[in-house]
Structure 1
Amino acid sequence: MPHLDPEQLSLLAMYEDWEDADGREHLSVCPECAADYAALRRTVDAVRTTPDTTSLSVPGPHVWAGIHRQLGLAEAVQADPLSGPGTKPAEAPGEAAPPNVAPFSPRRKAWWQRTGTWIAAAAAVVLVAAGGIWVSTRPAQPTQLAQAQLTPLAQYSATGSAKVVEAADGSRRLDVTLDKDEARGYQEVWLIAPDLSRLVSLGIMNSDSGSFEVPAGLQLADYPIVDVSDEPVDGNPAHSTVSIVRGTLTS
């Protein structure tokens, strides 16, 4: 099952009303993505929590005076924004008093003074950072190389599918799924050459699905047929010649 990408998870975590029905449905059936989503939601909730500022002291006017002087700001914003209207910045030692200016009148708050804006911005930054860490630490997802639809043979009616996936380390596996187990003996999974002259057993499937390691060096083009056989318990390792389902892998 393919997992949600970091962008989808971040949007779902940041916006509870984000319209992504498929993504939310995936979260209900994928424990791994649900765990990542829950971690991101905790980050968002923590950032959105209004900090307790009751114990913080307000810096004096000299702090803004220094900022104003170092940044070379305009005279219109000379007054300390944390003080009342008309308050002028404190003079630095040894400096002449600045010329009189008109009383400061309250203006619309800048974006950095609006609580909702900086909280949203902080949440976005935290989510981007968390998403980057999550991507770098989460194992790479397998790549699908080929797939096949499995159809019944002879007196059987089971159907299913098969796919070959490659892991990050280069190893490959064949995933087989049937809608039922119809074996009278037991099911064995094979890869077979197009002319049916050569075959490789991948293992026994004890239920209606299973995953099997594909031998290193085996070329899928040489063995593209997926076969699930009905094998009697007779100690003979050869194919019984009785196949339940069969299909050809295509990329």
Structure 2
Amino acid sequence: MPHLDPEQLSLLALYGDWDDADGRQHLDVCPECAADYAALRRTVDAVRTAPDTAGLSVPGPQVWAGIHRELGLADAVREDPLSGPGTKPAEAPAEAAPSNVAVFGPRKKAWWQRTGTWIAAAAAVVLVAGGGIWASMRPAQPPQPTQLAQAQLTPLAQYSASGSAKVVEAADGSRSLEVSLDKDEAKGYQEVWLIAPDLSRLVSLGVMASDSGTFQVPAGLQLADYPIVDVSDEPVDGNPAHSSVSIVRGTLTS
């Protein structure tokens, strides 16, 4: 089944009331995504513990200058928010602070000293970073097979089983026939066939030991030439030919 993407998992972990019923239902049935979600939740719980900032020192203006440069922030927020009025980063040109930018005085608490802001910022940073690492390390999901044709299988005389069949193509171009019945009614054993429209030619795909099975379709075989799916009741007599007794039959359509 498709897994939840990193952004979806991060939102579910960060916000307990995030409106994503499908995502939470997926976590109930997918152990792999549930494990990733649990790891992210532990991260969120960890950063929700307010830090002891009493012993922390205010970083110099060069720290904000580096952050501003690395993130490519606008000039309007070039001024160090932890500096007093008029203090500029070391490499910033001297200029008046824009009128629409709040300047933090030395008596006000720094952003990292305000508990609510610290929690939200730390959780967001950890989840974004963790989600990126998780996404890069998680194995890529293999391409899903493409369905080429399908058929409804109906019972023939003296049988009541029914089911379905479909032909799917893998990424490498190989094809397989997937057959599913609601019961196994064979008195001997079940054999799966592809048959020409006039019933004059047929190809055996193999024995189906239960009520379902997957069988390789020979390379080069044209489904238009063999569109009939047939499950026969074969006696254990060593004869490889069709017994002429079919349990179900149906025609493939695209």
Query: Structure 2 CA distance, aligned partners of 1:56 and 1:198?
Result: 86
Gaps of 5+ in 2: 70-74, 91-102
Q: CA 1:202–1:87 in 2, change beyond 3 Å: closer, same or farther?
A: same
How far 1:190 sits from its partner (Å)?
Answer: 0.5
CA apart distance, 1:237: 1.0
**1:106 corresponds to which of 105, 108, 115:** 108
Measure, in 1, the Cα distance between the counterparts of 2:104 and 2:212.
Answer: 81
**Matches of 2:105 and 2:182, distance apart in 1:** 81
The 3 A distance-change label for structure 1 pair 155 and 142 is same
Where do 1:27-66 residues align within 5 Å? 28-29=28-29, 34-48=30-44, 49-50=46-47, 58-59=56-57, 63-64=60-61, 66=62
Change (3 A) 1:213 1:74: closer
Q: 1:119 maps to what in 2?
A: 123
Residue pairs, 1:75-114, within 5 angstroms: 80=82, 104=106, 106=108, 109=111, 114=118
For 1:199, the equivalent position in structure 2 comes to 202
Match of 2:189 among 182, 186, 190: 186
Equivalences for residues 6-17 of structure 1 within 5 A: 6-7=4-5, 10-12=7-9, 14-15=11-12, 17=17
Alpha-carbon distance between aligned partners in 1 of 2:23 and 2:89, rounded to the nearest angstrom: 58
Taking every aligned residue pair, what percent have the same amino acid on both sides? 53
2:235 corresponds in structure 1 to 232
> Residue 116 of structure 1: CA displacement?
1.0
Q: Residues 77-114 of structure 1, C-alpha deviation per residue, up to 9 Å, x if partnerless?
A: 56745xxxx6986998xxxxxxxx9955638959x954
SS across alignment from 1:58: coil
Contact 1:146 1:163 in 2 (8 A): yes
Deviations 1:215-251 (A, max 9, x none): 1111112111111011112221111111111111122
| Other-structure match for 2:152 | 149
Contact between 2:188 and 2:233, CA under 8 Å: does it hold in 1? yes
Q: 1:170 to 1:69 in 2, by over 3 A?
A: closer
Q: Return closer, same or farther for 1:164/1:19 CA change in 2, 3 Å cut-off.
A: farther
Give the structure-1-normalised TM-score. 0.71
Deviations along 1:189-211, one digit per CA (max 9) or x if unpaired, are 00111221111001111111111
The 3-state SS of whatever aligns with 1:137 is: coil
SS in structure 2 of the partner of residue 240 of structure 1: coil
Structure 1 unmatched runs, 5+: 93-100
Paired with 2:189 and 2:199, the residues of 1 have a C-alpha distance of 21
- CA 18–167 in structure 1, closer or farther in 2 if over 3 Å, else same: farther
Aligned to 1:126, the other structure's residue is in SS state helix
Partner SS, residue 134 of structure 2: helix
Given the superposition, is the C-alpha separation of residues 116 and 52 from structure 1 closer, same or farther in structure 2, using an over 3 Å criterion?
closer
Rounded Cα–Cα distance in structure 1 between residues aligned with 2:36 and 2:197: 49
Structure 1 vs Structure 2 CA RMSD:
4.1
Which residue matches 1:98? none
